[in-house]
Chains A and B, each alone.
Chain A
Amino acid sequence: MKAKVYVTLKSGILDPQGKAVQHSLETIGYNAAMDVRQGKLFEVTLADGLSLDEAKKQVTEMAEKLLANPVMENFTVEVE
């Protein structure tokens, strides 16, 4: 089973990296890119035998404890 954890900056938190990427997109002609927010994607391969519920529970804990910093980041978990 695999899980994906998307970590994104909370709204209101300045994202200078996203801003730099947006500027660069503008430079190469993509004026439609009004705003860019940069985040992280974690792909976690899980041990066999976990139930879907248990997998979701564990991966959510992983995100809360380590993968995201709740002061500045939100996260979403997908298990498949």
Chain B
Amino acid sequence: MKFGVIVFPGSNCDHDCYHIAKHVMGHDTSYVWHKDASDLSGYDCIIVPGGFSYGDYLRPGAIAKYSPITEEIKKYANGGGLVIGICNGFQILIEAGLLPGVLMRNRSLKFICQDVYLKMENTDTPFSSEYSAGQVVKVPIAHHDGNYFADDATLKDLEANNQVVFRYATVKGETSDEANPNGSVSNIAGICNKNRNVLGMMPHPERCAEKVLGNKDGLGIFRSIVKHLTQS
């Protein structure tokens, strides 16, 4: 099983993702430099990590969308390959048109770095099957632009197709406004595409996927991916 971790200038969670895939999960993992626009079909899963690609100039993800590797990620995803975008990776996947909506500046206008609780909304995806429906997990966020927005038609579509995978919630699983750190519409923290092979999420599962980190709640994402790949 082979993971590819995309590296843009300004990516800064690439090493964390690499570490979890390679050392914690124990799978072959390589970095893929954004200018090396080679075919990705040799990989079983592509991780677009967090960070500040191109310094977040223009809009987060806007410049990365025209980086040579992004065309390859699109081809890979449209061919059914598993792609997970975390934080800035989520912003890039949205700008690239692989996921709907937009991630705007947090409503507080502040960069937020804290643990949040997520309620599992859809566990029938390659990225979330190791969790149980409605389960509440603790995962950190660290972003300035994570305020998810989509127009009413898009939201309706997302809900109808069960594409909302996680929502910000209280520890008891209430998806209230108080539990919403950044103003995201319907408390949305992560979504997948209709085909379920592309996931974008603002929280950082790679930062809580190992005992030494004091929290393993995020490991289920990586275990779900491996389970899916093993079964398929």
Chain A residues near B (Cβ < 8 Å): 13-14, 16-17, 20, 66-67, 69, 71-72
Contact = CB atoms under 8 A, between A and B. Distances in A.
Contact of A17 (B58, B102, B105, B150): B105
Nearest to B152: A12
B109 interface: yes
8 shortest A-B CB distances, which residue pairs?
A71-B102, A72-B102, A16-B109, A16-B107, A69-B102, A69-B59, A20-B109, A16-B105
Interface of B: 58-59, 62, 66, 95, 101-102, 104-109, 149-151, 183
A20 B108 CA distance: 10
A66 B107 contact: no
A17 B109 CA distance: 7
A76 B183 CA distance: 28
B150 to A, nearest CB: 8
A66 B183 contact: no
Nearest to A71: B102
Contacts of B62: 66, 69
B146 to A, nearest CB: 13
A14 B109 contact: no
Given A16-B106, A71-B102, A71-B151, 15 more contacts: A13-B149, A14-B107, A14-B149, A14-B183, A16-B105, A16-B109, A16-B183, A17-B109, A20-B109, A67-B58, A69-B62, A69-B102, A71-B150, A72-B104, A72-B149
A22 to B, nearest CB: 13
Contacts of B106: 16
Contacts of A14: 104, 107, 149, 183
Nearest to B101: A71
Nearest to B107: A16
A13 B109 contact: no
A13 B66 CA distance: 25
Contacts of A17: 105, 109
19 contacts: A13-B104, A13-B149, A14-B104, A16-B107, A16-B108, A16-B183, A17-B105, A17-B109, A20-B109, A66-B58, A66-B66, A69-B59, A69-B95, A71-B101, A71-B149, A71-B150, A71-B151, A72-B104, A72-B149
